[in-house]
């Protein structure tokens, strides 16, 4: 077994225009002072990383890594959640998702997809140059608008959607394989990979590609009412990244999983700071440790109630308290009898 690494923090929700959250130096100093030892880095903001340069220049990657290390921090993974989303976008969402792409690609779905695929390929090489072995992203979606369809789905639509999704991702997965890095899909509402079954459907389409792995985030499963503990038993061999994010589900006689178009604070299912929701992290950390998870525990802060700085400070301590330093011996070794084959046969009466 391996002791899970951490605590680490996903920077995406903390980047702002004000110091210390508007520069790599400032946010690293802030994170280190809170007790974090790792950072998961989004890759669309040049103030923090030049993704293309990190892919093309080992010197730049080494300098970036050294700067982060100087604060007592490591990069846990790079993130292309927003770019991954744009690998596959149904036309119904074109206007909304254009905001994730450069302005010159707005109203150009084909160009936007090509840009996103290239971004993922840059991320593969950049991860290799930075010495990373896992990468966090989204799958994108061609089918999400049909998850609860009316009228019913046309026959063959879902299969066609997953065939096309796999077609777009196979070259990306192969590039990550060439770079020795796992692609960790965050299983998430709004993606075509939103639960275990959809992940398995995708995995079949990409021929069980060894790099098509998982980012485990239990908060999304609470909101779906999916058994997030058994999920680890099913998929632990593919879980290569881990978000520590909490949530709660409190249905009423007026609303349930769909949330009634309400704000996050007023939904039956809502995200919370670690420790404030319903996720059983004690069991999760135990399961992941038992299955020899070798990655990082990365706090992702999303909460409709608590201040983000308070959530971050509490989150570092929360993760520290849940990481299990693994044992190198059995607890009952003191009672070992030191038997051999002859002794064992004598006990058995043989």
Residues 6+ apart with CB under 8 A from 347: 339
- Hey, is 68 helix, strand or coil? helix
- 318: closest CA among 295, 304, 303, 299? 299
In Å, what is the CA distance from 46 to each residue of 6, 80, 293, 340? Answer: 25, 13, 32, 64
Q: How many CB atoms lie within 10 A of CB 149?
A: 12
- pLDDT score, position 207: 98
* pLDDT reading at 336 higher than 90: no
pLDDT band, residue 203 (cuts 50/70/90): very high
Beta bridge partners of 213: 184
Average pLDDT on 225-246 reads 98
pTM above 0.85, yes or no: yes
- Count of Cβ atoms closer than 10 Å to residue 205 Cβ: 20
Q: Is 107 helix (H, G, I), strand (E, B) or coil?
A: coil
Confidence of residue 7 (pLDDT cuts 50, 70, 90): very high
Render pLDDT for 37-91 as a digit per residue (tens, 0 to 9).
Answer: 999 999 999 999 999 999 999 999 999 999 999 999 999 999 999 999 999 999 9
The SS3 assignment for 40 reads strand
DSSP 329: S
What's the average model confidence in pLDDT over 255-266? 96
User: Which one-letter DSSP state was computed for residue 154?
Assistant: P
Domain range list for the chain = 5-348
Question: CA angle, corner 185, sides to 183 and 186, nearest 5?
Answer: 145
Q: Is the separation of the CB atoms in 262 and 255 below 8 Å?
A: yes
Residues 6 or more apart from 295 whose CB is under 8 A from it?
Answer: 4, 5, 76, 134, 239, 240, 241, 242
CATH class of 5-348: alpha beta
Q: Is it the case that residue 345 has pLDDT exceeding 80?
A: yes
**Cα 39 to chain center, whole Å?**
13
292 vs 340 pLDDT, higher one? 292
DSSP-derived secondary structure for 111-145: HHHHHHHHHHHHHHHHHHHTT--EEEE---BSSGG
237-254: per-residue pLDDT in tens? 999 999 999 999 999 999
Q: Which two tokens stand for residue 326?
A: 């693994």
Q: Could you tell me the end-to-end alpha-carbon distance of the chain, in angstroms, rounded to an integer?
A: 36
């Amino acid at each position: 077994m391996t002791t899970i690494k951490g605590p680490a923090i996903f920077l995406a929700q903390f980047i702002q225009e004000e110091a210390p959250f508007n520069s790599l130096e400032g946010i690293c100093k802030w994170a280190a002072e809170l007790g974090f030892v790792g950072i998961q880095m989004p890759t669309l903001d040049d103030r923090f990383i030049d993704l293309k340069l990190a892919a093309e220049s080992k010197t730049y990657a080494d300098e970036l890594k050294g700067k982060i290390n100087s604060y007592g921090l490591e990069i846990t993974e790079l993130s292309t959640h927003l770019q991954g989303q744009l690998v596959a976008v149904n036309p119904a969402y074109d206007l909304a998702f254009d905001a994730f792409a450069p302005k010159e690609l707005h109203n150009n779905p084909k160009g936007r997809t090509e840009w996103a695929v290239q971004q993922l390929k840059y991320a593969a090489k950049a991860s290799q140059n930075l010495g990373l072995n896992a990468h966090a992203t989204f799958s994108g979606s061609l089918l999400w608008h049909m998850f609860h369809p009316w009228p019913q789905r046309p026959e063959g639509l879902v299969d066609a959607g997953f065939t096309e999704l796999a077609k777009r991702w196979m070259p990306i997965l192969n590039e990550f394989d060439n770079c020795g890095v796992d692609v960790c899909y965050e299983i998430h509402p709004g993606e075509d990979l939103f639960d275990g079954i959809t992940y398995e459907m995708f995995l079949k389409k990409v021929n069980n590609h060894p790099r098509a792995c998982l980012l485990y985030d239990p908060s999304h499963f609470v909101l779906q009412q999916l058994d997030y503990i058994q999920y680890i038993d099913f998929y632990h061999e593919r879980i290569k990244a881990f978000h520590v994010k909490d949530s709660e589900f409190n249905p009423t006689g007026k609303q349930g999983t769909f949330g009634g178009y309400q704000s996050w604070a007023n939904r039956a299912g809502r995200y919370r700071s670690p420790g404030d929701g319903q996720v059983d992290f004690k069991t999760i950390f135990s399961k992941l440790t038992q299955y020899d998870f070798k990655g990082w525990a990365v706090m992702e802060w999303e909460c409709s109630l608590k201040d983000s700085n308070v959530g971050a400070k509490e989150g570092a301590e929360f993760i520290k308290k849940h990481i299990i330093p693994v044992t190198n011996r059995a607890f009952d070794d003191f009672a070992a009898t030191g038997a051999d084959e002859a002794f064992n046969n004598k006990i058995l009466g043989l």
